Structure 1
Amino acid sequence: MTQTTRKFVTAAAIGVIALLLGWWWTVRGREEVAGPEEAPDGGGPVFANGPRVDGAGPGRLDLRLVDRAAISGRVREADGRGIGGATVCVGSSASGLDSKEQANRTCTTSAGDGSYRVEGLLPVPQFVHASAAGHVPGQYRAGPGQRARTLVTLRAGQETREVDVVLLAGGVELKGVVRDLSGGELEGAQVSSGFAHGRTGADGRFTLWVAPGEAYLEAHADGYARGWMMGVAPGMTFEIALTPESVLVGRVVRAEDGAPVAGASVLAVKPMESSAEAISDTNGNFRIEGLKPGAYRLEAFHDEAYGVGAESAVLGLGETSEPIVIRAHPAYLVEGTVTVAGGESCEQGWVRITDTAVGSRAGEVEADGLVRIRGVLPGSYEPQVECDTYVAEPTYAPVAVVDAAIRGLRWQVQPGQAIRGRVVLSGGTGARGLHVGAEPQPDPSAPRAQATRAWSERTADDGRFELLGLLPGRYRVSASSNEHPRPEPPLEVELPAGQDLEDILLTLPATGELRGTVKDSEGLAVKGVEVTLRGEQQELPTTRTLDDGSFRLKQVPAGSYRVQAVQGWVPLQAPGTTDDDVQGTAVTIATGEVREVQLVVESQHGRIGGRVVDSAGGPLSDAFVEATRESDSPAAGMGDALRDSRWSFFGAETRKLTDQDGRFELSGLSDGKYTLVAQRRGGGEGSVEHVATGNEVEIKIADAGSIAGTVRIQGGGAPEKFEVSLHEPSTGWRSSDRFFRTGGVFRFPEVPRGDYRVIVEAAEGSSSAKTSVGEGGRAEVQIELLPLLTVRGRVIDAASSQPVPGMEVRIRARGQVQMFTPYDQTPRGQTSDAEGRFEVEKVAAGPVDAMVLPKDWVENGYGWSSIALELPTTGATSVELPPLRIAKKRRSENEAPGDLGLRVQPSAPGTEPGEAKLIVGSVRPGGPAMRAGLQIGDEIVSVDGQDVTGANGYLFQEMSAVPAGTAVKLGLGRGATIEVVADAMK
């Protein structure tokens, strides 16, 4: 696997995880929100998302104009003793608030007896967090277990009392500093890590008290965009540099008469990166702050209207946009309540409604189970309901939206069943801080049956866990954390109908301890890099180095490993080695043993300086510059580093801003050559490749061009809604936007020069075109939509040709990134049945990619496959595909692949799948491939007799990922067949 392929696959997985985490924090109310079971009786109205005046009806008041509320209580030990000097913060993620209000925390310090009072709060559901020296931060919880109520429902003008927070001992100090991009310290910046909150002092420094181990830190300040960092506490100094904010301003008006739309939620979305929200005022005006530079899609949602910005709004560094007008068209409110069988209301969850022709809308559960989905266009919608720790019905009645709001809907969920038990260390004592998950095991005879899964909160000191909201069936139960090994193999249990499982015991393997340091060739500490283990298992404990370069893994299962220092998903090289050499240090750990290792990597103090200029040679003071290291492997493809840089938003902020003279300096680099990319605004960019550390370079940002066009339906007319995606394969540059009632017209105002594929998708059809944009040029494309197809076929095992049930098939136009979130609802027909058959409706004609993956990501012995297909563009409304062949995994779920000692060159960007070849780019000296006679330049045409040429190349990765000791027969283009026996990872 090439460096680019590894990073792309990993980044795609991380993208999915990022979306999952984003959803998780959202439906949990952000940062695992907390609150008492009920608001006090009497007093004023209860407000949520808007708010409403009473329990029913459309009446809503501006929550910012009503009397404020207050919360009081105590911060205390488990035995009731008060904790003085604790920081108590209150906040809300109610969907009626804008992003700035949701990010705000109102904090105070507890008195000597632990008492506190916070006033001036909006009457919306609020959470309460507390932290104190020597304690693990915590939240208010009302009730036992995972179903403890977690929102403080406030009433206008009233005080909610006895909101107590219990803190446990064992907290450690997390220290850091917040600066701006010029290096100046920022006073008063808000910082948070989980339930711990604080602000920076005059020197930009702060201290939080958190649980020991890996920590995620966020920081934001007025006038700046939010920043974040991962690290370890204690012993590591967190450093976050904030970017001056960019701002979007504009107005929402009714399309029919230009009247202002007040109270609309205006969402600015930077695809695959971030979003922010504002609420329009009485004149329809909105202001969205705290944005980073780039291109943003704008949508407005209102109870009676929906609108989309005419084109993406492109922001420069610290720029405030010209006023943008969003024309909102008639749409409607869908309102209902999620209730639990027995009468209670759901507290945390969401409802998504989908019409395959119109699209989807979603709303979060608010107070009392209320869900309000705004801006819904006419259509017949299928609801999908999620209530945390409960079981949704397999289906719900369709929602028909015609010409009026719909209220009073009820979606009921069931309590389901539970699995409870303990996670213990090998000696029998409880294991703290692990998550326990229950994954359903598929029934091949019923692959489309509803499945449930559950994920516990972190285990407490006694190791107890609780998994709720499960249907009867067979589950794989396992525990995981970054700091502990997982039980191997996972425990398989049968959850019988009508009966919970109690006293399940998960025992972690016996362990030793690994300590060490990471230093560079100059003897200087390398801090903040990830330390990983490679061995017989895939999922092993990880950590990061501290300020002095030291690290400690307390729970390492007995065995032999290679310890590596990793940065940006790639192991750091030892002095004098290359990417093709095995990196790290071998170590063997016995049960109860403490081992120490020293990792030496090449110098991490290289620098590259230079200047960024515009097309006329003038300095640019608002450009970001980032360096991506180029692989020194012969198997690396041209332009890999440039394409890798597109995924940098998944990592820490490493970009540098140019100064007034356009100058920049990148430091802390490993020795080697780099691709430098400079970007400004949303589309202008320039790049320079093969820059060695120690050099100066000039980067020219060419004037951005634009791509515009018109979309037409076959037979005449334009689609009401459509999405356009751009992809430049040689550089990896991508962008997408949605358009609504534009008469088929679209425009991307700022794109770099290049050769683009333009992909259009709409309910009426799909199509694509190719175009080129020169420096400062303008490209025009005319696209006629091809009718959408119904695609049928079978999924079969590549080796046995037997049907594979329980695989989801999703088909998208080639070039589009397929991302999945828990909001996705795959029609049952898209899951292969017992005969492997599936049916996918509304598929684009022409070149497409079929993603085949286990249903609901359930482990069934198969992984993900992306299969290139060519669908007919004329004369067909349905297509029967040849069988889709997928390879079964050749190793168990947590078993690491062995080492074949070879790397395959990536295909050149834009290569058609049928023309792709698996050419060996490098062979590790002394490795198994070299011993078997494999040569650089050989073409691999088969693996164990299975054809992997051309469009079948996707089979190679799964079929070659084998455990150590496995023999793999490689058929070569020169007519030879060799047998390679995988070594253990060294």
Structure 2
Amino acid sequence: MARSKRSPLGLLLGLGALLACVAVVTLIFMDGPERAAGADPLLVERGGERGMQVPDPVAGGSQGTQPLLTERAVPVPLETPPRGSASAAGRRVSGTLLRRSDRSPLSDALIEGRHGQTHSDDQGRFALPDVGADELSLVMTPDRQPSVDRRPRVVDLPADAGDLDGLQFILDTGWLLEGRVTGQAGEPVPEARVLLRRGPQEHGHHYLRADAQGRFSMRDVVPESQARPSLLLEAKGEFHGPMQLLVDLPAETRRVTGVDLVLPAAGVLEGQLFDVQGALLSGGMVRLPWLVSDGWVQDAAPELEAAVGVKRRYRIEGVPPGTYVALASAGDSSPRRSGEAWEGLLVSKPGVLLEAGRVTTLDWNLSAPARVRGRVTDAAGNPFEQADVEALWQLVLPAPGRFGSWTSALRHATARSRERVTGGLETVLTIRVGQTSTLRGGGYELTYLPRGELLLRATTTAGGELAPAERELQLGGGEDLTGVDLMLGRGLSISGQVRDEQGRPLLEARVLLVPQSDVFNYREDDFRDVGADAGFSLSGLSDGNYTLLARCPGHRDALQQVPAGAVGLSITLSPAPLLAGQVLVAANASPLPSYHLRIEDEAMFMEADIDHSEGRFEVDSLGAGTYTVTIRAAGYAPEVQAGVVLRRGEATELTLLLRRR
């Protein structure tokens, strides 16, 4: 949409002969000119100020712009003295507050004078009976609206005027969005949930339900950034998955129509929870945190969860088709992380298939939590009091490790491949479900653990050369194990330096060490910064082989397989080309703010979920060569693939278009 530069808040009212001849005076609080037909009196500018051109009642002409009442923004409301304070003779000020977007009444706005205050009623009306004759301003704040811009507005009053009745105050409370939610075939999505994903930071998210025809109207919304006024809307329905739409907010109007969201088909998961005795539970939570697809595990949408409701059932709507890992917990809280560990996690279902347009029923039988106690010692058997102990739940998933050995860092978990006892590879999801620190005497206790395969791991918090200790357990529901001791061994180190091709230290470099894997992904938080001389030393390692990844802005990533104990490594990074791009919706060339990006060649691939208001991405860690770029987004088809040739030291820009299904 076309944009105009935002102009300052201006002076808007001329009085004089107008007060004597006109019953209703309109004050318009706004930050840009209104051009709609039939709008309020023409706004004109004079000397950098904005006022209202008023017809002369005698000559029939114009008496000019007389901005006697002004409106300006203030950081805080004026202080209100106690009632009964001495003041000059009072006068009455009354009127109606209206929204600029659609001229609807603005209720529950706060109107403050120096000696009193009131709120507008459900018709936007207010009256202040005791405004001092020496009082030169009122403060108006729409403080009770859920998402409105709450900045106070100050209205300057003329000192020599009497009662001011019948005023109309038009406040710029934000934009009005009107639109419709439909499926891919154009059918309405009744009762769709429409969410303002990015609103003002101080107001949080704002959502509502569409009507039976899929129509919705969202009032009083303001952008997070005034540099480019836009809002990110998201919608989903019972059998329709989520879809996001970036809406540009035009400066010339506060009303945006035709905001249509087209949703892809989705499924529903519902069921009940039962305790150990088979009794139906009235509380609990079920989540779908991870999606299993094509031999790989990835994070699912974070909102795919539901609590057990008043009918003692849970129901998760709008789930995109696929196979999920499902988790359930008893109690009133969700399976969630406390610090770095999950709490309340009792049961898992590693392969739950959801299909579009169908309801999948899944009931749960929860087990009693288990407990494990023991001691942590050093290699000589002495109690070790500076250790952390964590319990890692190991879930075998219905997805073979088709990439060979691999590791994938997920939200709240890690997935990896491992060899089966019977041969071949299997996929294992590792979830931290408990953590604690050793007490005096090296003792530890882990409670509220789920049944199944667990890995206990102890690591030192004191630094040094001690290697982690690990122990595998098979826990039953309600089991209480004691004497589960862990012995820290003598650790090994890997050290070296990161340089460029001229041998100069790369001080902005970061390094990551993982157990040897052919394929892996990572989180940025997993990297460690190099030292002052671009050196690194990773200690406390168990014996074995590792994969070392070094990266630096503007340079190609370097991978090296190294054994524990290797010292004096020299990692050289070469300059990398820059690959940048933008993903647009083909219908209107608007940016697509959320999508999945995959870049690959014959030897490697990288994937990322992109969340950017302009739909942009940048990658500066690839080497020169030919790559395939693939974009996927829910509700859009087909996948867009583009072959791109990257050359050393050069920047390449892509623009990719996606069409709705």
State TM-score, norm by structure 1: 0.29
Q: Give the number of the structure whose alpha-carbon radius of gyration is greater.
A: 2
Query: Which structure shows the bigger proportion of residues in strand conformation?
Result: 2
State TM-score, norm by structure 2: 0.40
